[in-house]
Amino acid sequence: FSNIIAKADIKLLADSDEQEVVREVHEFYADYLAINPHLFSLGIPACSQ
């Protein structure tokens, strides 16, 4: 799963974690290219060219 999350949402998660089960939140950057048009779409034809 990949998506973005606002800092306010991270703070809300931290404030709501009463049992302190969340220890860390990591941010990873990734570049990727779908090899099959049926698996992924940005709605841009031939975006790899």
pTM of the model: 0.47
What are the domain boundaries of the chain?
1-49
Both tokens of residue 5? 């999350």
Residue 48 has pLDDT above 60, yes or no: no
Q: Are 22 and 14 in contact (CB under 8 A)?
A: yes
pLDDT in tens, 8-46: 998 998 899 999 998 888 888 877 776 776 666 666 666
What 3 state SS string does 1-46 have? CCCCCCHHHHHHHHHHCCCCCCCCCCCCCCCCCCCCCCCCCCCCCC
